[in-house]
Amino acid sequence: MDSRSDCFGGKYHQTTANLELKRTLADIYVELKPDVCLISHYEDHWPDHRESGLAAKDAFLFSHGLSTHDLTPHRAKLILACGVTPVQTYHFEPDVYYDVSDVMPEYMD
């Protein structure tokens, strides 16, 4: 998949945390019922990263009001905000690090 492809109907670098995206993410969230969620930090410098993070945070915390499929609240045990690089956000001070190097080749395929 080309990284510049549309994602959930949004154009590359033009993601907004609108109601439609929040509902789409909430539907995915209640279907998968994850224990841990990884989202972009809301203070990321890139507007599309920031908006994606805000949409995901709202969708995961308020899925019972946003999902069109299931109104039963689901709570992930952890919602972790992440940054791509240490200089990509304002006021972001990571305190947990995960080594994902062994799964990156799979992801890149």
* Radius of gyration of the chain measured on its C-alpha atoms: 14
pLDDT confidence of residue 4: 53
Specify the pLDDT at position 21: 93
pTM value is 0.74
Which of the four pLDDT bands, split at 50, 70 and 90, describes residue 86?
A: low
Long-range contact list for 33-40, CB < 8 A, 24+ apart?
33/74, 34/76, 35/76, 35/77, 35/78, 36/76, 36/77, 36/78, 36/79, 36/80, 37/76, 37/78, 37/79, 37/80, 38/80, 38/82, 39/79, 39/80, 39/81, 39/82, 40/81, 40/82, 40/83
103 vs 63 pLDDT, higher one: 63
How confident is residue 1, by pLDDT bands cut at 50, 70 and 90?
very low
Q: For 44-53, 65-74, 78-87, which range has the lowest pLDDT when averaged over its residues? A: 78-87
Q: What percent of the chain is predicted at pLDDT more than 70?
A: 82
Q: How far apart are CA 53 and CA 81, in angstroms?
A: 8
